[in-house]
Amino acid sequence: MALLTAKVTWLRWLLADFGVFITTPTLVLSDSTGAISVARAQVQAQVVALQYVPSDLQFADFFTKAQTRAQHDFLLSKLSVVDPP
């Protein structure tokens, strides 16, 4: 989470240098309540907005973790992926 908020901060500064000013916080989804509590300084500075998402709804897990068949099918449906006919 710390690395991500540092990269978001850097990208926002880079965009500002190019004249693109972001006025709203960047939304970051996390399933770690501990990581969310650590990143509060960036939330207060309105660099990021953190939102808790339970592990079973983390779409990135589809690509990085083993899934049960039911979880696999659920994530496929959320990603709008269907089997070819």
Q: Rounded to whole angstroms, what are the CA distances from 49 to 4, 6, 30, 58, 67?
A: 12, 13, 11, 17, 28
Residue 84: predicted pLDDT? 59
Residue 3: predicted pLDDT? 84
Residues 6+ apart with CB under 8 A from 32: 1
What pLDDT, in 10s, does the model give residues 52-81?
888 777 777 778 888 888 888 888 887 777
Residue 85: predicted pLDDT? 56
What integer is the mean pLDDT of 35-42? 77
Residue 21: predicted pLDDT? 94
Greatest mean pLDDT range, 2-16, 34-48, 51-65: 2-16
User: Long-range contacts: 45-54, Cβ < 8 Å, 24+?
Assistant: 47/5, 47/8, 47/9, 47/12, 48/5, 48/8, 49/24, 49/25, 51/27, 53/29
